[in-house]
Amino acid sequence: MEEWDSSTKSALTQIPLLSTRAGPRDGAAWTQRLKEEYRALIAYTTMNKSNDNDWFRISAANPDGTRWTGSCWYVHNLRRYDFLLQFDIPVTYPATSPEIELPQLDGKTHKMYRGGKICLTVHFKPLWAKNSPRFGIAHALCLGLAPWLAAEVPILVDSGMVKHKDEEAPSAESCA
C-alpha cells in the first residue's frame, strides 16, 4: 500500500473486507458471500457520496448474483463521460476476480480485451490473488476500474476515440 496515494488508502480502509470463501456453486455459503458483497458495495457507495466522488451505479442483474450490470462515469475537462458497465462472477470466484466490461469502449484502446473487458492483469490481478477472499466487487471497482478509467478516459477523449454525448452526430431518427 506504500505506493498508493492517500485518497486510495483511505477509500480502501473504509471498504469492509469479506470473510466468506464461496463462489456461485456453493449454495448457502454463496448467499452469505453475496450479503457481504452488498454490505461492502453499500459502504463504498456511501463513502463516495459523502466525499462527492460518486462515479458508478451497479446491481445484480439476476437473482443468483452472478451477473452484474450498471454504469460508470468519468469527468474529464469538466465533461462527464458515461459508460455501460457489466461483468459476470467467475465460477472460481473469489479466487479469480471478475472481468469488468465496458462494451462501448471495445476496440478503442489496447488496454482492453475482446468484448470490452478492461485489462487488469499487470496491476490488479496480483493484488486480488494476494487478498482473496477478503476482496470483493467493491474492491475490484475501487482498485481496478477506477484507476483504469483515470488512466484511459483522458487519453481516449484527447485522441478523439471517445466523444462527449453533446459532440456526437444526431441519429437518423432524430432528423426525421
Residue 119 annotated to the active site? yes
Catalytic residue among 72, 119, 142, 175: 119
CB 40 within 8 A of CB 11: no
169 contact partners, CB below 8 Å, separation of at least 6: none
Active site residues: 119
